Structures are given as structure tokens and as C-alpha cells.
Structure 1
Amino acid sequence: MKLTSFCQIILFIMLYSSSTFVTSQDSCSSKLQQLQLPIPFDTSSLLCSSVWPAHSFILRYAKASSDVWSFIFSFPLDPKAYAAIGFSKDGSMVGSSAIVGWMPSPGAGGMKYYYLGGKSKDEVIKDRSDLYIMNASFVPATGSLGYLIFQLKTTQPSSNLIFAIGPNGQFPDYPSYDLPKHIDQTSVTIDYSKVFGTQRLHVKSHGVLNILGWGILIIMGAIVARYFREWDPFWFYFHASVQFLGFVLGVIGVISGFVLNNQLHVDVTLHKALGIIIFVLACFQVMALLGRPKKESKVRKYWNLYHHNMGRILIILAVANIFYGIQLGKEGSGWNIGYGIVLAILLTMALTFETQLCSKD
């Protein structure tokens, strides 16, 4: 056998084995690309937890809005058994509301809600739940995986979750859909503060980028352009460099703001509108720089009038939107005081330089 043929066979075996492994179980490092149906909510910010390693149960979750939480619960379909996730007030199974999914054969999957009022068969009530469940579906993946996809309408779900797996080959059957007793179960506690921590980090990153870009560097560049013209051409290159850096950071901040808005789904219409206006004005400034006429040109004075006033409007709107953003983000007085001190220093510098400039005249 030729070496190339041998290598091809080995490569095929490796790829086949890898593919079989990926499709037979889920993990937090896996992407949600094996699903046969679209997911009815954004999955970009889902946190992931291996809630029951013994049975390869994986739970993904995120806060979709102020009162909606998204969940994706995945489990292997081999052995052929139902899988259940329940939300409990105190960590016990009795008194909890469960969502159960199963697929005894390809294309024959099902899902039901149950209220676990007690341990007897009559106390496990189907189609009843203390949860406000939305967009719920059971979705089989391309491999031997099942996904329970749902959203809960609540400010915060119970942190006490229970998971169960049913006996092999026994499923809730039509028409009663009685739930066979599970053969194994576990309980876990979910720390939802991680969700808020991730979102707070995104909010802070958005704020820092915009403060540095629009609220500090752009102002510094304007100060240099107005008061250091005798240092020609150093002032121009410094001004252009600082403004460009501020523009780049500001644009990244604007983009992060749109991403954050899609994640939080909160009403920040005015803040977003001001951010778009600031971005558009900044783009006009960049275009004006590219089309700057020569000093001896007759239209140079009109260009200066446009460029200077457009920059002043941009700075005023940026400062106002930064303070407004700090208020929306509920960052507290520390951010207001911190940026206020930086702004006061920049304003003091500008007033000092303006006084010196006027005394020369």
C-alpha cells in the first residue's frame, strides 16, 4: 500500500471518528449548528454549564430582556429515554415544574410540561406548570442529540434546577402521557449573577470606549488644533492622529452599543439616536479632512467654518450623551464624578490657553 493511500485512510478514520464524537454528544465548546430548525431567539450571549456530566446534560441560558430568559437544554438520545429539566423553589422535586422531552424513533419526538405535585402517579399533572413558558420546542440535532428550547417570562428564574432521566425505552404515551418514574435524578444550583456580570462587563466596555474616544481624545485633538498652531506641522499631525484614534475607539464603542442593545432589549432610543448622530458627524469630519483645501484657496475659510463648528457640535453632543449613558447604565456617581473631573481638567486647559490666545491679540 502506498504511503499516500495509507495517510488518506487514516485521515478518513480520524475525520469520521471526530464527526461521530461531535454528533453523539454536546459540550459547552460545541456550536449550535447541528439543529435542524432555527432557534427563535438570539443565542450569541448564552452562558453554558455542564449540569450533569454523568449523562452529558448541557444547559445554555441568558437573559433576553428585563423579564424574559432563554434556555437551551441538550441531552443524548441514546439511551432511548426521556430527559427532564425542572425549576424548583427549594431544590426538591416535589412542588417543581418540569419540561420533558423524548424521541423514541427518528421524527417521533415529543415534549410536555408537568407539575410535580407529589411522588404518586396521580400527583404528576401533565400540561400544568407554574412557569410562564414561551417559544418552547423539542428539536432533534443531526446526531443522537435532543434539544429542549424554551423561554421563561420572569424577572429571574429559580436558581434550584433538577434534572432527571427516564427508563430506557419508556416514554409518555398518547393519550394519557403519563410520565414513567425516572431512574436517575440530580439537582444543581445556577448562579445567575454570572449573566449579570457578563452584561455589566459589556456595558462598562461600551462606556469606556465612548468616553475615551468621543469624550476625551476628540476634545484633546481639538485643543491642540486651536492653541498650538505655532508648532507647525507638529500640531497638525498630532491633531489628526489623536482625532483618528478617538474616531476608531468611538466607532468600536458605537458598534458595541448596538450589540449590547440586541442583547438587553431595553429602550434607549434617545441614547442610540444621539450615538448615531455623533457617528455621522464624525464621518463628516473625516471626509472633510480628506477634502481639505489648500491654505491659499478661497474656499478655505468656509471649510474652516464648517470643520470647526461641526467639531464643536460633535463634542457637545458627545459629552451630553456620555453623561446620559452613565445614567442609563446605572453606574452610580463614581463614573459621573470621574468623567466630570477629566472634563473639568480639559476645560480648564482650554480656558487657560484661550486666555493666553486673547492676550496675544
Structure 2
Amino acid sequence: MNDQLPPAQSPANQDRRRWLLRNAAWGAASLLASHPAWAQSPYPSRPVRLVVPFAAGGATDVLGRLLAKALEPGLGQPVVVDNKVGAAGAIGANQVAHAEPDGYNVLMGGVGTNIVLEHTMPDLGYRPQRDFAAVASICNVDYVLVVAQDSPYQTLGELLADAKKTPDKLRYMSTGPLGPLHVAMEYLGKLSGAQMIHAPYKGEAPALPDLLQQRVDMGMMTALFTRPQVQSGKLRVLATLSAQRMASWPEIATVAELGYPGFAAPIWNGFFVPRKTGAEVVDRLGKVTVAQLQAPELKNLLEKQGVSVTAQGPDAYEKFLQAERLRWQQMIRESQVLTKS
């Protein structure tokens, strides 16, 4: 039996082999670190899911689909809208809050999902400030108070006077219990002394037949969804919930102008991702979104449909959200909506 090691396995050669392997591994790691695109696929490398937490056919869904299509050229990937409906938007928001923080699950959130519900739903499965990172603000959405064309109420004053005279007779719809529209209407009731019954729906489209048949007396709907119904003679607008008259519908008075100074229920939308999403992904999504919203074609299209484009990036949007939290906390407290539910 030969006790001699072959040359390749001699101690000197083994040490040299180990040294080469160590340096090869170090070199590969250094190369990958200096070229991160080699280490992982650039974002996005597959379709992005945009969760719209309201029913298909409603105004939020329409806006979401317009934006999804507009984002595709900038991202270089399809953006697929996924309607996750229920609980005033909480079901869809909760799903995104607990999704992988990889940038492939984006919430089209709003004042309800990302501020109000935290204060009105104690068992909410997420906490907006803790669980979401702001990507970009999209727009302020113009909402109006509407009745059926053949409703006996010609003005907001007549409707509120009747609701004050005969409490719990009139019914108004919103897109979910304890959402921002519910808070806004209860706040208006507090200011006017009117008492109405809240009738929550999963979206504007499902509520329309009941409104037309006057199974509900008044709706709180977007100008985008409402305008065609008004133009076809099916609905009549009583007022806008915005702080100022709408640029696209300037003849409609605000609730504040009709006797309730200071009243306004700002309803806005923005994009959010899970909080632990990487900063580079948030920045990419934010830049693409803002760039598309500032493009004249999309901006004009959105504004013609009853929204005001805001187009803020992540940092500016976070500052805006801080101020909005204070505003809505006050409205919730003064409306006493929690004690009535």
C-alpha cells in the first residue's frame, strides 16, 4: 500500500486549493455587491397587483383601472386591478397590509382605509400608520349629495328640515359603516340637528337601484359616478361635500355655502404598500405614479371626471397624512358616530 499522497493532495497543494477557493468566493461576492442587478431581478420583474377595496363599477374602481393602465409603460409590467370588497374598504386594505413587502401588492387607499377606520373599528386587523408606507397621493375626489330626480326634496335645506322634524324617517347611503362618508353625514347631522338612518352599501353601483327607487332617500356619491345619472335625468344634486366648488361642476354649491360654514369632508386617494417595503421600491413606484399623474393627458382626463389631481411623492404625502389624521379625529369625536353605532 502506497502511503505517499498524490501531488494534488499534498499539504502544500491543499493549502493552495483552499486559498484559491476562498478568494474566488470573495471575488464573486464582491462582484454581486457591486452589481446588485446581478444579485436579484430589478423591480418590477412581474405583474403588479393593485388592490381596489371597493366594488367594480364604482368611482374608485374606475380611477384604479385608469391609473393601472397609465402606470404600465413606466413600470414595464402589467398592473392588474383586484377588487377586494367589504367593511368600508378594510378587507382589501388588511390584505395588502399583511402581504409580502416586495412592491407587488399595492393598495389604492383613501381617507377611510388609511385614517378613519382605525378610529371607528376597534377590531381592525391593521394599523395604517404602522403597517403602510405612503407611495404617492393621487387626487381629491369630489363627492356630492344626491336624490332621485322625482324625490320630494328639491334642496338640502328641505331634506335636513324634514329629517329634523321627523327623526329616523329618512335613509341615506354610504359605502360602508363607520367609513368617512358615514362620519361626514353624522357630523352634518350634528351641526343641523337632523337624524337619519344610515344604510351602508359595498359601493356606489350596488346602491344606485335603491336610490332610484327611493328605498334610500339620499346618496353620498362621487361626481364621477353621479354625473351621467344627472345628465340622463335620473338623479338630482343637492350639494358637494368639498371645501370649494368643483372646477368641473361649478354650479353645484358646497354644504358650507348652504348654511353650514366650515363643513367639508375631504375624500382623497393614494397608493400604499406594506411598511417594510424597501425604500428603493417605494421611490420607484412613487416617481412613476407622480410622473404619470402630471402628464397632461391623464391629468386632464381625471379632472374632467370630477377629481383634483394632487400627485405628491412619498415624503410630501406622509406630511399630508399627518395633518389629515388630526382633522378626521376631530370630526369623529364631534360627530359622536361611535356612540350611535
TM-score (norm 1): 0.24
- Output the TM-score relative to the length of structure 2: 0.25
Where relative contact order (Cα < 8 A, 6+ residues apart) is larger, the structure is 2
Instruction: Report which of the two structures shows the higher radius of gyration computed on alpha carbons.
Output: 1
